[in-house]
Each structure stands twice: as C-alpha cells, then as structure tokens.
Amino acid sequence: MATSSRRVGAETSKTRDTLLDCVETMMLEEGYASVTYRALAAKAGVTPSLVQYYFPSLDDIFVAAIRRYSERNLAYLDKILAKRTDDPLRALWEYSWDEATGTLITEFMALANHRKSIRTEIAAVTEGVRKLQLEALTAKFGEGARPWGDLSLPALQLLISSLPKFLNLEKGVGVESAHAELTEAFEGYLDSIEPKPKSLARKRSR
C-alpha cells in the first residue's frame, strides 16, 4: 500500500503546542466530547483546516495530548523519586492519589473506553510509569525483596498505584464505605516499612 504524501505540521511547532494547550483546557472545562475540529479551531482562534494540518484525525489530537501529558508526568515523577530515595513507597502513595484524582487523566481514561488507539496509548504510558516506579523500589529494597509480607515489589507497586484509583472511582458514584478505615490501615502498613521522620511524627502529634 502506498504511503500518504500529505504534509503534517511539525511536532516542535509553537502552534501545535498552543492547540494542545486548548485541548487540555477544553477537556478540563467541558470533557473530551467537547473536542472537535471546529470547537478546537474556535478555541485557538484558527481555522479547522489548520487544526487538521497538525492533526489529520481526532485520534491524532488525543494521542498527542496524552503523550505530552505523559512526558510531563514522567518528568515530574522522576524528579519526586530522585528526591525521595529514603521513602519511595510513601512518595508513590502520594503520587498515586494525585494521579487518581486528576481531572485530565480521568478524562483520558473515559476516552479510552471509546477509542482503541487511546487505550493502546494509555497502556503504553502506564507500563512506562510502572517501570519507573519499580526501578525506584528496587533501588531501595533490592531485587526480589518482599518488604511487606509475601508481596513482591511489582505486586506492592501495583497495590499502591491501583488502590487510590479504585477508591476514587467508588467515591465518584457516591460510595465511601470503609474508605477512611482502609486508607488509615494501609498508611499504617507504610509506616511500618518506611517510618516517618521523628520530627514529622512530633509535629503531627501536637
């Protein structure tokens, strides 16, 4: 099959970045369904044909938005883990809560239910994040370590990253039974593995 010779706008273009800024704003304010060629063009103050020049399909728009979001997210996570080598479990727990309650990632996940290309992209992004997280845990605890019962590091990493998502999903439909109890118990387990600094413990007890 012959490949298309159609020109596409450069990924380093300032215009392209501006369009993706508008995509994020629209998703945050009105949800992913609000993103169409015409609506995006109106938001950015350009023509629909210019939007299509940079993004030949709607899927291209969303994939580009996810990739840019993911690059920022990975850089942020890498920075956090580099600073918190003494307590990577607690750092991942806090990060996972921020991620689970983020409006933009929630919209991306909802979009993935309707578009296969988005599911594929989110799966790739998720694997990349988990790889980075697991490397941080392995650096502290060692290969094959089981710092909490019989849970391997990959299993512990999955529990830390998935529990906030599950609790937030339930909260979104009005279910919060035992949420506080479970969160408190889980944080207690984290304390047993990575005790809080005494200075922080004293401040919280006052």
- Residue 102 CA to residue 66 CA, distance in Å, equals 14
**Least confidently predicted of 16-20, 22-26, 97-101, 150-154:** 97-101
Predicted local distance difference test score (pLDDT) of residue 114: 86
Per domain, the residue ranges of the chain are: 10-56, 65-195
Per-residue pLDDT, 203: 44
Q: pLDDT tens-digit profile of 136-173? A: 999 999 999 999 999 999 999 999 999 999 999 899 89
Q: Classify domain 10-56 by CATH number.
A: 1.10.10.60
CA distances (Å), origin 34, targets 24, 50, 103, 171: 11, 18, 15, 25
- pLDDT at res. 7: 56
Which amino acid, 69?
A: Y
d(CA 203, CA 169): 32
Instruction: Please give the average per-residue pLDDT across 58-80, as a whole number.
Output: 94
Measured distance CA(182)–CA(206) in Å, rounded: 24
pTM (whole model) above 0.85: no
Residue 9: pLDDT over 70: no
